[in-house]
Amino acid sequence: MAPVNVDLLVLIPFPPHELARLEAVFNVTYAPEPQSRADAIASKGPQFRAVLTHGTAGLTAAEMDAMPKLEIISCFGVGYDRIDVQAAIARNIIVTHGPGTNTISVADHTLALMLASVRQIASQDAAVRSGQWHEARQNSPELTGMRLGLIGYGSIAREVARRCEAGFSMTVAYHSRRKATDTAHTYYESALALAEDSDVLVVAAPATPQTRHMINEAVLNALGPQGYLINIARGSLVETDALIAALNDGRIAGAGLDVVDGEPVVPAALLKAANLVITPHSAGRSPNAVDNMNTLALRNLNAHFTGKPVETPVPECAKVAAA
């Protein structure tokens, strides 16, 4: 990939070797923290022609206005919920993302959260470390044979389903915006109905205004005191206060979260729940996944600046291009 004389603003953390890949091609300004981000946009905004961000860091309309030469926003990973895509379209800025780049990593992590939650791995580990060997021993349920419910039925959900069926003989059902025509898995019209018939409910849907807080008190009550919630999508899909209450009241058996609404800030009341396993939005952070995401981001950026169509525009931009 030939270097181009383009100023690229990077708004997300990168391992040094991955950052070096970007620096070999672009004039990189690295600003992964809120203050460095604000400073970079204020001091060098008119220079930037490209931004590399992700769904959590996002990019606002006001920030776009401060970068009048901005041509492309490359989103690292699949989700792009905090990028103001409509503002980008109005300013003739293309937005790309990385579908499929971290599917395997996220699916693996989902199974890790499921096993850790159901088998009470974190609480037993903590008890043993505090000297309570005998007290730590629990009669934990078996994951094998449980009923899996999937909220969303994209590539990650399907990978989770494949692992659960083949490895743990789980039955699989799902709820999504529309019924799939290429599967024998049972479709449910609502998240509530799916939760009622699930032992483990995995949230794997995109963050949209329609999916915000779709996992609410009613859905958690339907999941019930023997049920487990796993969220590897976005924190906004789960109503946090309802989850805190359900965990502490024993209205669900446990939860495994890789995402929290408002992250990186995590409510203290949530962290006090003994039946919670939580990781720092790291499901998609395997070496292979990071390499895949960076490679695709570079391909999209290079395509744009060499006059070729980008490979993976977000659907909204693809729709505009096709009109």
Residues annotated catalytic, as ranges: 234, 263, 281
Q: For the chain, where are the E strands, in sequence order?
A: 7-10, 27-30, 50-53, 72-75, 94-96, 147-151, 171-175, 186-187, 200-203, 228-231, 254-257, 276-278
DSSP string, 50-62: EEEE-TTT-B-HH
Both tokens of 146, joined, read: 């449980």
DSSP assignment letter at 284:
T
Q: Compute the distance between CA of residue 213 and CA of residue 281 in angstroms, rounded to an integer.
A: 18
b/e 249-268 (16+ beta carbons within 10 angstroms → b)? eebbbbbbbbbbbeeeebee
Q: Compute the distance between CA of residue 224 and CA of residue 33 in angstroms, rounded to an integer.
A: 40
What is the amino acid identity at position 127?
Answer: A
Q: Phi and psi at residue 63, in whole multiples of 5°?
A: -65, -40
Cβ neighbours of residue 184 under 8 Å, at least 6 residues apart?
none
Q: Compute the distance between CA of residue 96 and CA of residue 45 in angstroms, rounded to an integer.
A: 20
Q: Which of 251, 239, 248, 260 is nearest to 191 (CA)?
A: 239
Q: Compute the distance between CA of residue 315 and CA of residue 97 in angstroms, rounded to an integer.
A: 10
